[in-house]
Structure 1
Amino acid sequence: MTDASSPLARVDLNLLVALDALLTERSVTRAAAQLRLSQPALSASLARLREHFDDELLIRRGSTSHLTPLAAELMDHVSTAVRAARRVFEANVDWDPRNSQREFTLYGSDHAFTQIGAELSRIVSAQAPRVRLRFMLHDHETVRDAMHSLRAVDAMFLPYGYIDGFPHRELWRDRWVIIADPQHPLVKEDEVTADALSEAAWVATLDGLADWTVPGGQLRTFGVTPRVAMVVESFSALPYIVSGTDRIAVMQRGVAMEAQAQGTVSVLAAPQLDAELVNAVWWHQVHEADPEHQWLRIQLRKAAQALGARLGDARYRRS
């Protein structure tokens, strides 16, 4: 029983939901949209929260808002509390994926959506036709601030080597390869040298060839300094961008071999990128005990098995 003199007895618990949205979105506008409230209504809630904590919580700096130290400290506690409250009020509800309208949001690259996302879509549509999947492209900032990013979504598709310290599961394995137009001079070489790769014009995917990325780090280990001539925010577009030009690019073998089978590009033998690419799904600790999220992880495991079988096709085997 709650003591009438305790702080909890004097707080409108609806503010907990508002606080969670505000801390996650770091924006009154986005938080209001998430909660389907008007901006004035959520601004009023923020004012009450500021009065309760005697803290600004959100501080405007230029065009963005930042969390105060107290707000950053509250994030995990608030998210955990909201999820715990949700489980309390849904305790008598037998969640059935066949009738659920739950929306799962996942970050990833277009390459991940083309591969594991496609398999997950087929499985979910068959088992839970009303469940919605939302795939959103991640970027450097999303990955760099993974603690915040993963709190706002259900999971993120990302290879090992970019983030750590979160629950995760290995899904499928691939390799980085270099692609070029079938008529490119490097295609005729038995083995592409580091000097030839440094002299070539590259198409990069955002920071895809930077030192901190896996392929960028591998290339520089062999003394390759890619000369980036073009940047495109899509792995799937790379074969079409490279085709008919003297440019080359690095991408995942699974997708590249499909493009080679269509005659769009050729895959080059490059020992500089011989390391295996291990793709995983990552999620925040607050999702661990969520039965709906546990169901999603089971479907992802099934999707990984289906993808593994598909990648076992002869077109995907190493030559």
Structure 2
Amino acid sequence: MVIVDMHEVNLRAVDLNLLVVLEALLEERSVTRAAERLHMSQPAVSRALQRLRDTFDDLLIARSGTHYTLTPRAEHLQVELTWVLKNIRQMVQAPKFDPLRTRQVVRMAGPDVEVCQLVPELLAHLQHAAPTLQVELDSRPSDYFSALVNGDIHFVISGLAPSQQDDQLHRIFLESTEVGLMMGAAHPLASQSIDLEAYLTARHGYISLTGRGPAFADATLKAMGKKRNTVLRLTSFASVADYCERSDLVFMLPKSIVEHVGKQRDVVFRPVPEELRAPELNFYLYWHQRNHRDPMHRWLREVVQSLVV
């Protein structure tokens, strides 16, 4: 009966740095040449060889006349060592990204109109710079920042700020725009200055990107002890112009979005009442810290930055 020693090797007791020295010794078959190759002193390599002999319980290299030869165990180790060290080097080496060959998938999310202002130009660039890079867009009403934190998507395009865990997120600036009122050109308020009283008497619609919760204007008015007459809540910007043209509804929207959805439509853009005016709205591209150093993500962010300069 053959008895096989099944004791597990304790890797914590093995100095894995010695494997690099072993590789040089097995290939050079000389302490002197191995020391020169490794930029080490001969005594240091000799000490390493003795530790390797103790570890493997084998001479590894043995003098044969005027030169050294490998023991049978060393010949076997050399084959295994080449594969092991190659894999370790690949594991430690920073991953490379080739945009011309990549087939990676980039998942982006944001409101449809906000996405449409950036992504078409981005795709026009990618068709030459990264022709096989796949882009998935999700503009369904959702809590995009939670999806970003959970790892479901890679990038969020938004004018909103994350409500929590923003210390885990990075961002780059895309554009700034003022916020104003969009209404049909035939609306009674379309040709006049709109004060707070006129604003409150109008009928309002608003966009809730998450599909729930009040609009920013409602929270501001509540703090003032006032309330507007909201009769419609939408979860997308796409149909806003239709409602403005065919009804007396007023929407408070970023100007850049009004210019997009209201192009060649019978709508107007008017300033908000002085009491509701706020600083310009900033749009950002957000990503999670888990992807901050990923080569593909870094490359794509640089492309985006070049497009919005």
Q: Where does residue 173 of structure 1 map in the other structure?
A: 176
Structure 2 length as normaliser, TM-score?
A: 0.62
Counterpart of 1:187 in 2: which secondary structure? Answer: coil
Cα gap change, 1:303/1:218 in structure 2, threshold over 3 Å: closer, same or farther?
Answer: farther
Q: Which structure has greater helix proportion? A: 1
| d(CA) in 1 for partners of 2:237, 2:201 | 22
Aligned residues: CA RMSD = 3.2
How many angstroms apart in 1 are the aligned matches of 2:99 and 2:180?
A: 39
Equivalent residue in structure 2 for 1:197, among 199, 204, 225: 199
Q: Give the C-alpha shift of residue 223 in structure 1.
A: 6.1
Q: Name the residue aligned to 2:186.
A: 183
Query: Which position in structure 2 is the counterpart of 1:252?
Result: 254
Superposition misfits of 4+ residues, deviation over 4 angstroms: 3-6, 87-94, 207-224, 258-261
Following the alignment from structure 1 to structure 2, what is the Cα–Cα distance between the partners of residues 261 and 210? 28
Q: Name the amino acid aligned to 2:161.
A: G
The farther-off stretch of 296-305 and 267-276 is: 267-276
What code does the residue aligned with 1:157 have?
A: I
1:286 aligns with 2:266: no
With normalisation by structure 1, the TM-score equals 0.60
Alpha-carbon displacement from aligned partner over 1:94-145 (angstroms, at most 9, x marks no partner):
4210121111001111121121222222222231111111111254544457
- The counterpart of 2:245, out of the listed 237, 243, 262, is 243
* Helix, strand or coil at the partner of 2:178: strand
Q: Distance in 2 between matches of 1:113 and 1:129?
A: 20
**Are the aligned partners of 1:209 and 1:226 in contact in 2 as well (CA < 8 Å)?**
no
Task: Figure out how many residues of one structure are paired with residues of the other and give that number.
Answer: 221
| Bigger-Rg structure (1/2) | 2
CA distance in 2, matches of 1:207, 1:115: 17
Distance 1:168 1:139 in 2: 21
Shift of 1:189: 1.2
2-side partners of 1:110 and 1:195: how far apart? 32
How has the CA–CA distance of structure 1 residues 103 and 226 changed in structure 2, closer, same or farther, with 3 Å as cutoff? farther
Q: Deviations over 1:57-82 (max 9, x none)?
A: xxxxxxxxxxxxxxxxxxxxxxxxxx
Give 2:97's aligned residue.
95
For 1:139 and 1:133, the matched residues in 2 are separated by: 19
* Matched-pair identity in %: 16
Give the counterpart of 1:267 among 257, 261, 269. 269
Q: Which sections of structure 1, spanning at least 5 residues, go unmatched? A: 7-84, 306-319
List alignment gaps of at least 5 residues for structure 2: 1-7, 12-86
